[in-house]
Amino acid sequence: MATTQTVLGPLDGSQLGVVLSHEHVLISMGEDARHYPWMYDWQRTRANVVRELRE
């Protein structure tokens, strides 16, 4: 079986049990969004992400 890298080191996949995955679908650009707020339309971006996830 495949090996998975964990925070405690490599682990054989057969030892994992139930695994809950997650995705980072919306990220912050750090300080850019604070210094240049006109470049980021978070409401529209969020609406687009939600729409795409529902499709």
Flag whether pLDDT at 51 surpasses 90. Answer: yes
Place of tokens 């080191």: 9
**Is 54 part of any domain?**
yes
Residue 6, amino acid? T
Average pLDDT for the chain: 85
Residue 30 pLDDT level (bands cut at 50, 70, 90): confident
Residue 21 DSSP class: -
Per the confidence metrics, is the pTM higher than 0.75? no
Residue 15, amino acid? Q
Residue 24 pLDDT level (bands cut at 50, 70, 90): confident
Decide the pairing of beta strands 3-6 and 9-12. Answer: antiparallel
Number of domains in the chain: 1
The Cβ of residue 40 has, within 10 Å, a number of other Cβ atoms equal to 14
The whole domain housing 43 covers 23-55
